[in-house]
Copies of this chain bind each other. A is one copy, B any other.
């Protein structure tokens, strides 16, 4: 690996390739690298992209809290970066990750637990861990 300063320059160059929206954000899909399970979708800003590439731990931008959101910082359910990809239009990121524990704040492995079956909303997975166990008093 090149020296740290050079890597930082490279990560900035990757961020320069991406198209952020008018709020300075880009959608990022997180996928479990080995099973292919789509875990969640969240948003990154430029700083989150550079931090994710630099640390190997996925960092988003929380729109509700208006600050960087290091996935797992409250819950311990970290996402370790396996591959950082982006699409033909450079306006969507796909992070392939190794998800520690569960990705969803409800305690489910992934966030996509509602399905329309015969036109009726159906819950297709259950929490693997309680919200209390996930966040304790930290929420």
Residues of the B chain whose Cβ atoms lie less than 8 Å from the Cβ of A116: 11, 14, 53, 84-86
Q: Are A94 and B38 in contact (CB under 8 A)?
A: yes
Residues of the B chain whose Cβ atoms lie less than 8 Å from the Cβ of A53: 116, 119
A68 to chain B, nearest CB (A): 19
Q: Are A14 and B121 in contact (CB under 8 A)?
A: yes
| Alpha-carbon gap, A41 to B94, bound state (A) | 10
Q: Take A29-B41, A83-B115, A112-B94 as given contacts and tell me if A10 and B88 are in contact as well, using a CB distance cutoff of 8 Å.
A: no
> Which residues on A are within 8 Å of B, measured CB to CB?
1-2, 7, 10-11, 13-14, 17, 27, 29, 31, 35-38, 40-41, 53, 83-90, 92, 94, 104-106, 108, 111-116, 118-121, 124
**5 other A-B residue contacts (CB within 8 Å) besides A41-B92, A86-B116, A88-B111:** A7-B119, A29-B29, A40-B87, A84-B116, A92-B112
